[in-house]
Structure formats: structure tokens, C-alpha cells
Amino acid sequence: MLTIYGVYKSRASRLYWLAEELGFAFRKEPVIQARKVANPLAADAPLNTKTPSFLAVNPMGQVPAIDDGGLVLTESLAILLYLAKKHGGPLAPNDLAEEGRMLQWLFWGATAVETVTVLVTQGDEKGEWKTEAGRAKLAVIGEALKQPFGVFEAHLSTSDYTVGDRFTVVDLGLAEIVRYVQGHPELLQGFPRVTAWLERCQSRPAFKAMWEKRDAE
């Protein structure tokens, strides 16, 4: 059986959302981020990203990771595409051209967007944006997002979704990346199509089911 390593309140949420969309069975291994554990290497510490048994799965010490019948994968966006292709259906690419476009947008999300949006959620965790210096830093982050969000805004002028004029695994992955700034509407100001697209993605029953489990975790 497929094993997913990671708690809901981590990047593993992407995989749990996909599981809700596709209905495949899995076993959850609740690996917590080490930064959330006082002493991650203590004998009584919960399973976390510095636990030796997890490092044997992913030496990078990051979640999510999967073990699918002996196939171990460790990058969330690659895992999403792998699982979508394995299980088929409209979330997966229909042909090689669609797969190429999906890879393009997933790589774009990882390199041009998530490297910036993750700073926002990290700052949220630390309460960083409550100070004047923090707010100034957040404004700089907003400036850095204007180009990639502008590119995506223009792309969405011809379709409600990213690839193939339908909701796919790419929208799922990108929605989880853009979600990091959702608590700061000013960062999405001027990008109404991106905002509407995110709302469409999050209105799906599978997202709501995942989020309910995340809240209960």
C-alpha cells in the first residue's frame, strides 16, 4: 500500500488533497517538521523530519515523501504528477503535450513562486509581520511576487484553469503554493483572475474534505 509521510499541516496536504480527489487508499505516517519539536532527537520525541528512521526515507529531512510498493519519491510536485498519472482520470495529462505543459507550470510554481510565498507562511508562524520591519519585509515580498503573479494572471485570461481548460493536478499543486499568501489579501491585489482561480480550486469538495482533516489534526 502507498505510504504518505507527513502531517496534514505540511506540504503533505497536497498529497492528501489529491487522495480526496482520486479516492486512492494510503497509509499515513505522521512525520512532524522538526522545527515544531522542542528536542527532535530526544528518545521520546514524536516522529519528525530529523528522526533517523525518516531520514532513511528522505535524507533531505523534508516532508512529504512516499513509499509506493518500494518506489520512494520525495518531491511533492513530482509525487503529485506521478500519482495523477498512475491513477488516471481528468487530473492527469491526456497526452505528451499536456504533460510538458504541466511540467512547465509545476517547475514554474516551485522556482518562481513557492520560493517567495513560503517566506510569507514562515513569517506568519513567527509573528514576523506584526512589526514595522516585518511589514516592510512583507512589502518587498509583494514586489517580488508581482511578476510571476502577473504572468499567471495573463495566462488565466484565456481559461479558468492552468492546463487543458479543466482542473488538473497542476492547479492543485499551484493552489497550495499560492495559498501561503492567502492571509494577506494585499499580496493578491491587482490579480483578480488569480484570486478567482484560487477560490475555484478551494471550492472543490476534495479540498474541503482535506482541510477539515487538517483543522482537526
CB 201 within 8 A of CB 171: yes
**Together in a domain, 101 and 87:** no
Instruction: Give the residue from 73, 63, 61, 50 showing the smallest Cα distance to 2.
Output: 73
**How far is residue 119's CA from residue 117's CA, in Å, rounded to a whole number?**
5
**Together in a domain, 81 and 149:** no
pLDDT at residue number 63: 98
Domain boundary at 73, 91, 109, which? Answer: 91
**Together in a domain, 116 and 202:** yes
Return the HEC string of 152-195. HHHHCCCCCCCCCCCCCHHHHHHHHHHHHHCCCHHHCCCCHHHH
Domain membership of residue 81 (yes or no) is yes
Percent of the chain at pLDDT exceeding 90: 100
Whether residue 64 is preceded by a cis peptide bond, meaning omega within 30 degrees of 0, is yes
**How far is residue 116's CA from residue 77's CA, in Å, rounded to a whole number?**
16
**Together in a domain, 74 and 136:** no
CATH number at residue 50: 3.40.30.10
Overall pTM surpassing 0.85 (yes/no): yes
pLDDT at residue number 194: 98
Q: Containing H/E element for 20?
A: helix 13-22
Domain membership of residue 13 (yes or no) is yes
**Together in a domain, 60 and 116:** no
Classify each residue of 146-181 as buried b or exposed e, where b means 16 or more C-beta atoms within 10 Å of its C-beta: eebbeebbebbeeeebbbbeebbbbbbbbbbbbbbb
Residue 1: pLDDT band (50, 70, 90) is very high
The predicted-structure confidence for 128-171, as pLDDT tens digits, reads as follows 999 999 999 999 999 999 999 999 999 999 999 999 999 999 99
Residue 111 belongs to domain spanning: 96-209
Residue 201: pLDDT band (50, 70, 90) is very high
| Structural domain count of the chain | 2
pLDDT at residue number 28: 97
CATH number at residue 146: 1.20.1050.10
Domain membership of residue 46 (yes or no) is yes
The predicted-structure confidence for 69-94, as pLDDT tens digits, reads as follows 999 999 999 999 999 999 999 999 99
pLDDT at residue number 109: 98
Helices (runs of H) and strands (runs of E) counted in the chain: 9, 4
Domain boundary at 91, 120, 155, which? Answer: 91
Domain boundary at 91, 108, 136, which? Answer: 91
